[in-house]
Amino acid sequence: MKKILILLLLFLLSADLLANNSQVEPRGSNYDLYSSRSSTADEDFIRYIEKNFAVTPDDIREIIANFHSEMRKGLSGQESSLQMIPSFTDVAIGKETGKFIALDLGGTNLRVLAVDLDGAKGIEISGVNRYVIEKKYMEGTGEELFNYIAECIDNFMKSNNISYEKKVDLAFTFSFAVDQTSIDSGKLISWSKGFEASGVEGKDVVALLNEALRRKGIKNIKVAALVNDTVGTLVAKSYEEQACDLGVILGTGTNACYREKINNIKKWKGLAPKSSNMIINMEWGDFDKISVTYYDREMDAGTINPKEHKFEKMISGMYLGEIFRLVLRDLIKRDIIFKDENAVNLFDKQWSLKSEFMSLAANDKSSNLGAIEVFLSEQGLKKSDLQSRILFKYISSLIARRSARLSAAAVSAVILWMDPELERKHIVGIDGAVYERYPDYKGIMESVFNELFGDKSKNIVCDYAKDGSGIGAAIIAAVVASEEG
């Protein structure tokens, strides 16, 4: 009976942690919860997990300080886990015109859009096609991958009656770490997010795309701009909201870009841009001045890029489900959850638990956690007990909460870098399924801003920037096209 009551309390607390925007510190509150009663080995272990996944205010202050020193090093060309890549562009003024194809390659989907800009910030999307990038292309040769991309472009041109004669400018959103060499060229530094197509790292991805287009017989497309998804997101959002100076992706991967004064980019050797600002693609997924748990290390060992993208692997959708699976599997092995012999092999398969299920668990507000019960039965556990389902939801919330608090720490670091006293309003354009779909992800981020900045936290506004990356890239392509005349 006592155990049921405690688990019920745990359930209520976990629901509250996610629903509440106020400053709830999981480590403190649950520590009290546990220490107020005689602990058993199981409970001690759960407490240990809770501590492992907590991100305390002190941790956040340390992350901010480390972000600043890594940013400084990255901007001056010294070795740093933040690459701070100049994008060769700034936000646009809003007078851009023309018709563009936007090609957006970021995760498992490839999107192609036809974008019309009217010169007064009006944007019309006259066609959107989505294509799935199958595993065989992600893991095959670069030539096969780019041939497939060219095939998708060809299909898009046909289905949207786009001319094969007249010159068409294409904006290429390529959401990987690229050493940008001009606005329309850049070499892939390293793949991430499950991609490992051979022969692409170190090569100019625009040249690879051009070659594939020629092989396909498409001669009239000119790649006008090569853009990271964060940069596209920032440019698109700042079209609507002038105060937007930070673009963030919280999806399959995570990254951010912001507007930097050209004088601060010590490694910049090119001409000063007209606006005297340039957007910097931080590649913050690579940030590595942070400690990880045993489960993170185990997950990392099973990725195609072990030891890389450490921060991204604690935050983004590609990895959260796998971390959750590893914790669950451990709890099952220790006989702490699903104490049923049918559960022994549950969650044994690597990468089988998708991060979406964490959103599903968080959204299950029913008293018997019915949606979780159905999910578990689909996984092969025909019968599950309520206590285990409560614990399932709670553990998931700890991992998601860590992700949101880390994202908020990183956003805070960049804003403080731009505006140390937080004197002006900063709109943060954010896109990505983790941010969009995990219930109250935004609320958890805001509670961190509140913890750090009190009243001044109202100067940080997170604003959803749906599918901005392709549109932003088209806007940049328009700037380039107008400069070229």
User: Which residue is associated with the tokens 């399932």?
Assistant: 392
Are 172 and 115 in contact, with CB atoms under 8 Å apart? no
CB of 193 to ligand GLC, least distance (A): 6
Contact residues for ligand GLC (CB under 6 A)? Answer: 106, 175-177, 192-193, 228-230, 249, 251, 253-255, 283, 285, 312
The residue sitting closest to ligand GLC, measured at its beta carbon, is 253
CB of 283 to ligand GLC, least distance (A): 6
* CB of 282 or CB of 372, closer to ligand GLC: 282
Q: Catalytic site residue 116?
A: no
Which is nearest to 88 in space by CA: 185, 3, 166, 15?
185
Which is nearest to 25 in space by CA: 479, 473, 452?
452
* CB of 66 or CB of 469, closer to ligand GLC: 469
Q: Catalytic site residue 175?
A: yes
CB of 174 to ligand GLC, least distance (A): 8
Q: Catalytic site residue 130?
A: no
State the first-to-last Cα distance of the chain, in angstroms, to the nearest integer: 77
* CB of 173 or CB of 459, closer to ligand GLC: 173
* CB of 24 or CB of 250, closer to ligand GLC: 250
* CB of 152 or CB of 248, closer to ligand GLC: 248
**Separation of alpha carbons 326 and 363, rounded Å:** 21
The active-site residue, picked from 81, 111, 184, 388, is 111
Residues constituting the chain: 485
* Residues contacting residue 419 through CB under 8 Å, at least 6 positions apart: 426
CB of 192 to ligand GLC, least distance (A): 5
**Separation of alpha carbons 257 and 90, rounded Å:** 11
* CB of 255 or CB of 303, closer to ligand GLC: 255
The active-site residue, picked from 14, 81, 87, 175, is 175
The active-site residue, picked from 90, 169, 184, 229, is 229
* CB of 26 or CB of 432, closer to ligand GLC: 432
* CB of 196 or CB of 419, closer to ligand GLC: 196
Residues with catalytic annotation?
Answer: 111, 175, 229
